[in-house]
Amino acid sequence: MAIYLSSHHHDAMVAAAVDAYPQECCGLILGQRELDNNRCDHPQPEDDDRQVLDIVPVANAWEPSLLDDTDPSGTAEAGHGRRDRYWIDPTVMLGVQKSARQQQLEIIGIYHSHPDHPAVPSECDRTLAWPIYSYVILSVQLGTVADLTSWRLGPQQQFQPEPVKIIGTSANNSPFLS
């Protein structure tokens, strides 16, 4: 299992993260899934490889009123904003999904940035995650992307790292790619 993206798509995500700094950027990753039927007797959706074919930057629609919906325990701290949260408007997501289907593509993931924090999913990221998507996180330190990772929600509702492969460039030698 891995996510494959071109250097063009990598650069587009990096540019979006830098442009949004010090706030979180977000966007949708379109592409195709390729299930490897040879990996086991009963392949699961988490066993697929994902080929990125388009990146769709979207506005970070986070509003403080969303906090109640993302914290079922009611114990969340006040003061969260676009610097440490993102939200994709469901109507935007639906529109992108319809457009993608017309091109024989699907939403295979979501990307967002972590300003001045590691490229590791937060508890909020985990709470809002769907197991069908890859979650690419870009760590932006003082306005420069320092790390890029990808994650998938596993069967136990915990994030598992997903290898990122950049096609058509020597960027795979970059210190922040696995």
pTM: 0.85
Indicate the SS3 state at residue 117. coil
Residue bearing the bigger pLDDT, 111 or 45: 111
Residue bearing the bigger pLDDT, 120 or 178: 120
At residue 9, what is the residue type? H
At residue 92, the pLDDT reads: 98
Give the span between the Cα atoms of 151 and 121, in whole angstroms: 8
Give the span between the Cα atoms of 158 and 16, in whole angstroms: 27
At residue 90, what is the residue type? P
Q: By CB neighbour count within 10 A (0-12 exposed, 13-18 middle, 19+ buried), where does 24 fall?
A: buried
Q: By CB neighbour count within 10 A (0-12 exposed, 13-18 middle, 19+ buried), where does 18 fall?
A: middle
